[in-house]
Structure 1
């Protein structure tokens, strides 16, 4: 099996600021300075966009504090340390090796995915990375835990890296790994999304990790209270099933509500509230169609399966999800922000009484695939753009 390319590249500590006034926001395809992605749009007020660093296909990020953050690079399988105003570091030593499928078409979505900090990170320095991994049986989604050292200096490194979880039934597919991480705000358990590995029927099997959300303790073992833990024909890690390829997942602030966005086959991208033991229907319940145009499933509802909170009529390609709870954009407070890959947009949804009451597609004129969304403690919104010359962007009020 051919291993990934770990080609090094120099850090690019570039930073630039763009300010979009309301009149400019509505104008399509405005030409900007040479170092800008292109242009941006939003409907409510001026937005200031700053580039905090540049990375190759960044996928996930986590804030260490007010000034430092971690960013993963999917294709290269790397982790970098960023500083506000200082760009990104050279790749951090000690990161796990990742698996990328190398078949006849060289087609793969594998690599380094998300990064999350242990709830007691200040005490134990533990960092969690989701990534694709190869075993003798095949490839799949894994979680590696390591201790971050040297983050205050010039040579950050990971020590004691240990793969604490590997999905069962690995195979040779290079598609649909999922990979989003989220720590439970009360009990500290870790949630991980796993894609259906482009084999849709696996998502209906509660003994198979493909197409599920799994929940584990901080050492990777199944969490107490998981819905199938005591059933011999089910898997103890599984929390929910019937999902296609969740790449956005977050707890709503001040609650224990877990929310996710899921890729539809073609159109039909979905928003779900994830609850223990529930079946979210894929591939029987979907609003999308196959890439050939053929119908998939039986429609948007089926008895004993949870319908989506919302099905997008427009193709979003959702990846990254955050609830806004900061002071900078007051009109967004409580709303969900979704990264849009296919849409090349930041999609804002206001969710009330179990439905989407309002939605807005923002920043489309940037013309960039948005891979991840995070809200900083100061209320700014941070985005990752999924390109070879991808960026770490910070949004503040103009």
Structure 2
């Protein structure tokens, strides 16, 4: 009987320490996220701070409980065995140290395995990391304190701790139904490794990029796929980094110029770059870099990488926030998290919105973006339309106006991947709200503004590819916002990386996989 009671005491002590560690860790990560916004000049009142902290206890704490719980269990078992084997005096310091070291190792392991560079945003900086580890150390001390022989916990308290640690049931999410219109899907080209972008040449042939760093030429009928073209700049290919968009110059028939967007540099110092080259029979000639984003960043996530021409022949390039650098999107001293506008030679146009501000980078056209991977110019309505990835929800379609702040990370409709609040604000004074948002996230990719004749019912619609949703969304944009009308091509069940309108009105899709394809969509 004494042994059974002892186990209840240890179990109760462990669960109480675990609960306190999870609650403390959740509160700490919230305060560091809010501090990052405060450092941008965002006003956060006490009521907002409390509400955000409570929301994170509901949404973030269950996720953190899994991460912290695994590390705490293993670390306390290892520390307890070491104390017993080495006959160490004083359990509390060793259990505290073990909990902190165990959590640090777990953070590093999770960040290595997870698709995002840093799972828990508060740990992006040294201060946040130390604070999170301190909460683990306190939990280790509590476990040592409550599990002492003369500090037994009542059995009902141990049972209550078990009940508190039960998980939350996640609500089911709904999705739009696929449309069942009459179209035919056929493989136009295959054998492509993670194709990223497609651009048609005046003679009907097409250029296609592959994320690992290859550019290929497709015949007009798709039957021939060239060997990789020579002259492509050296690409940093890792994770989301690689060769991105390809864009044909407006005067291609005279200049033969094409533009490539790509990641350049190394893991520890990389950028989004743009190069211009002249297309010759076997590849590219006279290739030179015309733009490189600043500053350099570490990691391989969130590059943007879409390009579009404006009516004055200036070039738009979309950029990402690098995932761990989201606050940079609010700084005009950084290209990270912006859309830039440059001349064809890479210089900044004299009428760019921030050209006269001494501290601002002259190429910036708009800012406050997360990861913009879709961009089209609507020639009929004279407007630039983009979309960007939110985190967990909050994907956006925006109509871009020069000089405008689009909110990230101060205002967003999405949560972090852990369920934590990125910001307490879904809108903020002086920042533009999206024309349309998607929650849950569809992970939007390439898009086209359909202007062909083969599908009259799609005329003027945005066809937005979706990676996570594995389909295409047809969106109608108006002066009052946008409406997600229907989803298409879900029967493919493939990640859609790019969507293009072909020369004769067919729709072309790129599938994002190691055995990627170009799919041609025509009417029945």
> Which TM-score applies when normalising by structure 1?
0.84
Give the C-alpha shift of residue 370 in structure 1: 0.4
**Corresponding residue to 2:275 among 123, 141, 144:** 144
Q: Is 1:192 aligned with 2:312?
A: no
Partner of 1:219: 345
- Rg comparison, structure with higher value: 2
Contact 2:391 2:441 in 1 (8 A): no
Contact 1:253 1:323 in 2 (8 A): no
Alpha-carbon distance in 2 for matches of 1:358, 1:133 = 35
Give the C-alpha shift of residue 354 in structure 1: 2.9
Contact 1:253 1:325 in 2 (8 A): no
Alpha-carbon distance in 1 for matches of 2:480, 2:230 = 44
> What SS does structure 1 have at the residue aligned with 2:199?
strand
What does 1:85-164 correspond to in 2, within 5 Å?
A: 85-101=222-238, 108-134=239-265, 138-150=269-281, 156-164=282-290
Give the C-alpha shift of residue 358 in structure 1: 4.1
Alpha-carbon distance in 1 for matches of 2:286, 2:266 = 20
Partner of 2:301: 175
Give the C-alpha shift of residue 254 in structure 1: 2.2
**Corresponding residue to 2:499 among 353, 373, 393:** 373
1:301-348, Cα deviation, whole Å (9 max, x unpaired):
110000011111232100111111111111111111101001101111
> What SS does structure 1 have at the residue aligned with 2:473?
strand
Q: Is 1:329 aligned with 2:451?
A: no
Alpha-carbon distance in 2 for matches of 1:354, 1:178 = 26
1:258-294, Cα deviation, whole Å (9 max, x unpaired):
0011000111111000110000000011111011101
Give the C-alpha shift of residue 109 in structure 1: 0.8
1:130-178, Cα deviation, whole Å (9 max, x unpaired):
000017981010001000011xxxxx31001101110010122211011
> What SS does structure 2 have at the residue aligned with 1:80?
strand
Q: Is 1:234 aligned with 2:365?
A: no
Contact 2:436 2:483 in 1 (8 A): no
Identify, as 1 or 2, the structure richer in strand: 1
Partner of 1:77: 213
Contact 2:473 2:484 in 1 (8 A): no
Alpha-carbon distance in 2 for matches of 1:378, 1:266 = 37
Residues 217/135 of structure 1: CA separation in 2 closer, same or farther (3 Å cut): farther
Alpha-carbon distance in 2 for matches of 1:188, 1:170 = 28
Structure 2 residue runs of 5 or longer lacking an equivalent are 1-176
Contact 1:384 1:391 in 2 (8 A): yes
Tell me: higher relative CO, structure 1 or 2? Use CA pairs within 8 A at least 6 residues apart: 1
Contact 2:237 2:243 in 1 (8 A): no
Identify, as 1 or 2, the structure richer in helix: 2
Partner of 2:5: none
Partner of 1:387: 513
What does 1:200-349 correspond to in 2, within 5 Å?
A: 200-349=326-475
Contact 1:195 1:212 in 2 (8 A): yes
Give the C-alpha shift of residue 356 in structure 1: 1.6
Structure 1 residue runs of 5 or longer lacking an equivalent are 1-40, 102-107, 151-155
> What SS does structure 2 have at the residue aligned with 1:188?
coil
Give the C-alpha shift of residue 298 in structure 1: 2.6
Flag as ranges the 4+ runs of structure 1 deviating above 3 A: none
Give the C-alpha shift of residue 67 in structure 1: 2.5
Give the C-alpha shift of residue 230 in structure 1: 1.0
Q: More displaced, 87-96 or 211-220?
A: 87-96
Residues 136/365 of structure 1: CA separation in 2 closer, same or farther (3 Å cut): closer
Q: How many aligned residue pairs are there?
A: 345
Contact 2:267 2:300 in 1 (8 A): no
Contact 1:145 1:162 in 2 (8 A): yes
1:361-386, Cα deviation, whole Å (9 max, x unpaired):
11112110000111112111111110
Alpha-carbon distance in 2 for matches of 1:163, 1:188 = 18
Alpha-carbon distance in 2 for matches of 1:393, 1:66 = 19
1:178-236, Cα deviation, whole Å (9 max, x unpaired):
1001011x200000001001111010001100000000000011122110111101110
